[in-house]
Amino acid sequence: MCGNSVSSMETPVIVEPMGTHTATVFFLHGLGDTGHGWGQQMNEIKAPHIKYVCPTAKQIPVTLNGGMKMNSWFDIKSLSFDSAQDEAGITGASDDLKSWIAQEEQNGIPASRIVLAGFSQGGAVALYTALTLEKKVAGVIGLSTWLPLHHKFPDAIKGVKDYPFLQCHGDMDPMVNYAFGNMTSEKLKKFASNHEFKTYSGMQHSSCYEEMEDVKSFLNRVLPASPPSNH
């Protein structure tokens, strides 16, 4: 779920609601991937009132991969938790996500009916965006991920983060070490009063059926089938 590098696509993969559209999930893929694989995953757990939007990052040179261009939300310099980070790229990707949220609001879906989600690098963007967004969203999902620019927090936090955060990680992850996920969990618990960290025994840098069932349950809980609330 994190590797197949293909040419960049401007149009996001969208799983349209089968009924009346009252909620939206944004799911951002990991390094070198596209929105297609996660679009298929969302299609398997979809609810009839939710639209799932899986965009594809632009192709940029990635330092971690010897400067090779691949789909990436921002540059990654190393896998060390305390290495130099691409602050401009991270905040730029976050600004893009915030603009997509604003567009959904203009289309009649309030932030309170939007979930921000992502895997690995995409999860990092989702977490950073949620913490720096002044509005309350319905919830946040971070799979096999970490909190970027962690040294900026808690100062960078905007708004009260009392909505649900679901963080999931495999304890055998060779890419985003489980220790990074655990450190992220401990840090998030200081800012988010409704944070849950789930561990999957033996899972590497990927997903699994149990995890996707947990994601489905989370979405059903935070985005119940009801009309959008007032702005």
Gap between the Cα atoms of 146 and 125, Å rounded: 9
Please tell me what DSSP assigns to residue 163. S
Catalytic residue among 21, 49, 150, 205: 205
Pairing of strands 139-143, 165-170: parallel
**DSSP letter assigned to residue 152:** G
- Does residue 80 carry a catalytic annotation? no
Cβ(149)–Cβ(74) below 8 Å: no
Is residue 120 annotated as part of the catalytic site, yes or no? yes
Contact at 8 Å (CB) between 144 and 221?
no
Q: Which two tokens stand for residue 22?
A: 């009252």
Q: Which listed residue (72, 94, 112, 120) is catalytic?
A: 120
Q: What does the H/E/C string look like for 54-113? A: ECCCCEEEEHHHCCEEEECCCCCCCCCCCCCCCHHHHHHHHHHHHHHHHHHHHCCCCHHH
Q: Which of 75, 86, 173, 214 is catalytic?
A: 173
Q: Which residues are catalytic?
A: 120, 173, 205
